Chain A
Amino acid sequence: MTVPAILILIVVSLIPLVYVLALSFTKSSMTKPLQEFVGFGNYRAAFHDEVLGISVRNTLVFAITTTVLETVLGFILALALQKERLLSKIFRTLALLPLFTPPVGVAMIWRLIYNPESGMINHYLMKVGLSRGFIAFLGDKKLALPSIIGADVWQWTPFCFLLLFAALQSLPREPFEAAAVDGTTPWQVFRKLTLPMVAPALIVVFLFRMIISFKVFDLVFMLTMGGPGNSTQVASFYIYRVGFKMFNTGYGAALSVLILLLISLFTTPLTIGRDLFMKRIGQE
């Protein structure tokens, strides 16, 4: 029963990874792969590649900022909705909309909103007198990356909310009832009861978001193409450019290997940390 699935895993991960690894040690192009063995040449080039440095930094900034913002906002929202029965029902349906909006739609929506002449933000900023001229959110080196982060927060905060809301709902009632009898303050209840009990779910959500954030590609492709300058250049988009626009697949492969290593550097400790934490509090 598992043969087709294993075959797929081989085709979709094992063969590609081996092939990428092989390519990364060669001079290769899209049409002529594996022309010449160059040893660690591509990797040496990568260490001197300024754009790679920028894209790694941007990827980290993007991944960490979106993950923290979305987890925190989602948690606040989940806490606020715990006691609002009707609202929480409505909210849980509406929260699915940003999450499932096609990324091309998300990009269109936010290009429109950020646009100087046609966008809503500029229109209303000027109307209330907060800005005098048009702000080119996506065309400004300082604002472009935060603007993409804004679009991502719109799309993914609802997801964090959904998971954390469900986690809060599943907490046992008894400790909270006991605390109420003891006259504990709400802040103490939150610090000593809610937070530790919901911590495993928080870590899972955090990890999950981080993994998805590291993959960011479509928003950058459709909102800024990595620009202006390289201010929104991220790892995935840079590899795409090297591999599919400059057709330098050997170098693109080396970049892929490096990015994969970087991501495992971040996600592995988090995964291990979570397992240790789970063991300590006696879950799973």
Chain B
Amino acid sequence: MATHEFAVSGEPTLAQEESPGSEGALRLLKRTGRIFVIVLFLIFILLPVAFICTTSLKIPLEIRISGALLPQGGVVWENWVKAFSEVPVLRYLFNSSLIAFVSAMLVLFIAVPVTYSIVRFRTGGFLLPSWILGTYVMPPIVVSIPIFTMVKMVGLTNTLPGLIIVHTMLNLPIAVWLMDSYFRAVPKELEFAAWTDGYSKVRTLVRVVVPLIKPGVMVAGIINLILSWNEFLFALILTYSAKSNTFPIGISNFVGEHGLQFGQMSAAALAGIIPIYIMVFFFARNLVEGLTRGGLRG
């Protein structure tokens, strides 16, 4: 099974044997160097996030004159209260959640059978997988004009269903690409056994294969959920009022209209970032595995 070759393990396989005495000092020096690089990166990753958090808690006047990391004039919730009262943050979050959840479900519903079919029955030969990959490589802006025209034709601009459909279609290739290696890892024999027992292909997929690759399906689902939540371009051209604006568009419009009230905007942005971070922490292990398996296969 070639599929497990990139599985993530916590074991450092390159770890060298401990060597005694005289080289101790050199080893310590090297280790210090390594730790220094790592800590530097950790700061680089975390500091920006920390800064937007602390800014959201500063007194608005202080934000205008100082970029210090920690609030100097005390911690206040004013920005958060204002963000929720002046920006329809909750509405945006509701729109984004609904679109992300429904489109992720639809993507799985369509991607699971097609991935299985490509992996097991080589449906579409070389053409179908290349087509899926090509669709992913293509910058979305290239198809934005036709997709806008089509959505307009069926009267779904500025509606949640319109964006749900577009996100489903756009994210399908990524789901196929992510689940592919999981499907490949399922032993054929299990399916042959199921067929011999009189299971249909669909029933084999649902009852035998999918339960075996639950982590893969879950990862694809979560990643598609986040991609839809984060998606900018199509949400920008297809929605134009709070009724259907997603979180990214709502926030970016607000910045455009009201100039930069950093305190409020930091709070509003965090309102959309924090749910994602919670999900990421919750599923961290699955996400790392899914990304590295999918990613390294290329």
| Contact of B113 with A1 in the complex, beta carbons under 8 Å | yes
Q: Which chain B residues border A30 with CB–CB below 8 Å?
A: 148
B251 on interface, CB distance cutoff 8 Å: yes
Residue in A101, A108, A214 whose CB lies within 8 Å of B276: A101
Residue in A19, A96, A154 whose CB lies within 8 Å of B44: A154
If A9-B132, A101-B273, A154-B44 touch, whether A87 touches B38 (CB-CB below 8 Å) is yes
| Contact of B145 with A118 in the complex, beta carbons under 8 Å | no
Q: Which chain B residues border A139 with CB–CB below 8 Å?
A: none
Looking at chain B's contact residues, is the secondary structure mostly helix, strand, loop, or mixed? helix
Q: Which chain B residues border A217 with CB–CB below 8 Å?
A: 139-141, 232-233
B57 on interface, CB distance cutoff 8 Å: no
| Contact of B49 with A104 in the complex, beta carbons under 8 Å | no
If A96-B284, A97-B45, A159-B291 touch, whether A244 touches B237 (CB-CB below 8 Å) is yes
| Contact of B170 with A12 in the complex, beta carbons under 8 Å | yes
Give residues of chain A (14-46) contacting chain B, Cβ–Cβ below 8 Å.
Answer: 15-17, 19-20, 23, 30, 33
- B-contact 0/1 string along A83-119, CB 8 Å cutoff: 1110111011111111011111101111111010111
Q: Which residue of B lies closest to A225 (CB)?
A: B256
Looking at chain A's contact residues, is the secondary structure mostly helix, strand, loop, or mixed? helix
A144 on interface, CB distance cutoff 8 Å: no
Q: Which chain B residues border A267 with CB–CB below 8 Å?
A: 137
A158 on interface, CB distance cutoff 8 Å: yes
| Contact of A11 with B141 in the complex, beta carbons under 8 Å | no
| Contact of B147 with A16 in the complex, beta carbons under 8 Å | yes
Distance (Å) between the CB of B103 and the closest chain A CB?
12
Distance (Å) between the CB of A23 and the closest chain B CB?
7
| Contact of A15 with B8 in the complex, beta carbons under 8 Å | no
B117 on interface, CB distance cutoff 8 Å: yes
| Contact of B12 with A82 in the complex, beta carbons under 8 Å | yes
- B-contact 0/1 string along A181-214, CB 8 Å cutoff: 0000000000000100000010011011001001
If A9-B131, A170-B5 touch, whether A118 touches B141 (CB-CB below 8 Å) is no
Q: Which of B63-71, B73-81, B180-188, B189-197 contacts A (4 or more CB under 8 A)?
A: B63-71
Residue in A89, A92, A112 whose CB lies within 8 Å of B262: A112
Give bound CA distance, A221 to B132, whole Å. 28
| Contact of A215 with B296 in the complex, beta carbons under 8 Å | no
| Contact of B13 with A169 in the complex, beta carbons under 8 Å | yes
| Contact of B288 with A162 in the complex, beta carbons under 8 Å | yes
| Contact of B144 with A112 in the complex, beta carbons under 8 Å | no
| Contact of B247 with A118 in the complex, beta carbons under 8 Å | no
A57 on interface, CB distance cutoff 8 Å: no
B94 on interface, CB distance cutoff 8 Å: no
| Contact of A103 with B248 in the complex, beta carbons under 8 Å | yes
Give residues of chain A (199-247) contacting chain B, Cβ–Cβ below 8 Å.
Answer: 201, 204-205, 207-208, 211, 214-215, 217-218, 221-222, 235-236, 239-240, 243-244
Give bound CA distance, A183 to B128, whole Å. 50
Give bound CA distance, A96 to B134, whole Å. 26
- A-contact 0/1 string along B78-103, CB 8 Å cutoff: 00000000000000000000000000
- A-contact 0/1 string along B101-130, CB 8 Å cutoff: 000000000110110111000011000100
Subset of 27 A-B contacts with CB under 8 Å: A2-B124, A2-B128, A5-B111, A8-B168, A12-B143, A13-B134, A13-B138, A23-B145, A77-B41, A80-B34, A84-B38, A94-B46, A95-B45, A97-B49, A104-B269, A154-B48, A157-B41, A162-B295, A169-B8, A171-B13, A171-B14, A221-B232, A235-B141, A236-B139, A240-B233, A240-B237, A244-B237
Of all A-B residue pairs in the complex, the 6 with the closest CB atoms, nearest first, are A123-B67, A16-B146, A5-B114, A1-B113, A16-B143, A166-B292
